[in-house]
């Protein structure tokens, strides 16, 4: 038996199966989902987006009988149909599972959903089941919808869900009205820092009467006004 382990669990790890034979390889696909845009007179910019969900896939066998190459002890080996039925049942429940691989140079500990699962009786050994399976990373999220009702007479707001009232808190944050440019600054960076969105640099450009031809050579120390 090797020191490697590949386990799929369900219902907060209350149910689990350990793959009895480790696959020859696990393919993991990740991408940044970033895009580049060519902005006129500014050159190419890279807009960073949220990283896409990782995808994993592998194939292997559920053996009908134990053999020395198995990754589990003989007493922990189940009938091939047991593994198939577990995976099918958990997939149909529309609940995420957890895939854990340990022992390698990079361990995997990931919440996943089963995207594809196919199997057939192996032609090499009677009773063995050959399978192919692919997963997609699952990210937990929570969405709570709360409707706020305005009371124009009292100036209070009522949370319809809880029935409690809350006073509107004024925004006490003081935004600077001017900014002195430093080395490496661009209007995009300034808009990102003070307006929260770099694409709003046009507002600063218009407010300060800066020409397009001046965008690439903004003088250090120049005082600019902010919207």
Predicted confidence (pLDDT) per residue in 137-162, tens digit: 998 876 666 666 665 555 555 555 55
pLDDT, tens only, 175-218: 568 888 888 788 988 888 888 888 888 899 999 899 888 887 88
Alpha carbons 41 and 51: distance in angstroms, whole number: 29
In the chain, pLDDT over 70 holds for what percent of residues? 74
CATH code reported for the domain at 5-137: 2.40.30.200
pLDDT higher than threshold 80 for residue 19: yes
| Alpha helix segments (H runs only) across 60-186 | 80-92
Domain 178-225 falls under CATH 1.10.10? no
Q: Which pLDDT band, with edges at 50, 70 and 90, does 63 fall under?
A: very high
Q: What are phi and psi of 51, to 5 degrees?
A: -70, 140
| Rounded mean pLDDT, 24-52 | 69
Sorted by where each begins, the domain ranges of the chain are 5-137, 178-225
């Amino acid at each position: 038996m090797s020191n490697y382990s590949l386990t799929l669990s369900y219902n907060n790890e209350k149910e689990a199966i350990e793959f009895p034979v480790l696959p020859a390889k696990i393919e993991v696909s990740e991408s940044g989902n970033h895009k580049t845009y060519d902005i006129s007179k500014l050159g190419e910019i890279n807009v960073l987006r949220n990283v896409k969900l990782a995808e994993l896939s592998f194939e292997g066998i559920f053996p009908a009988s134990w053999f020395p190459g198995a990754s589990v002890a003989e007493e922990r080996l189940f009938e091939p149909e047991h593994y198939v039925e577990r995976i099918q049942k958990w997939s149909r429940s529309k609940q995420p599972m957890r895939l854990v691989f340990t022992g390698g140079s990079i361990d995997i500990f990931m919440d996943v959903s089963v995207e594809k699962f196919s199997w057939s009786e192996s032609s090499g050994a009677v009773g063995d089941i050959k399978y192919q399976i692919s997963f997609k990373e699952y990210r937990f999220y929570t969405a709570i919808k709360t409707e706020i009702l305005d009371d124009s007479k009292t100036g209070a707001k009522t949370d319809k869900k809880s029935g409690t009232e809350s006073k509107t808190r004024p925004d006490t944050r003081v935004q600077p009205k001017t900014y002195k440019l430093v080395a490496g600054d661009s209007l995009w960076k300034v808009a990102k820092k003070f307006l929260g969105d770099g694409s709003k640099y046009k507002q600063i450009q218009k407010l300060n009467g800066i020409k397009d031809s001046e965008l690439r050579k903004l003088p250090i120390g120049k005082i600019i006004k902010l919207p």
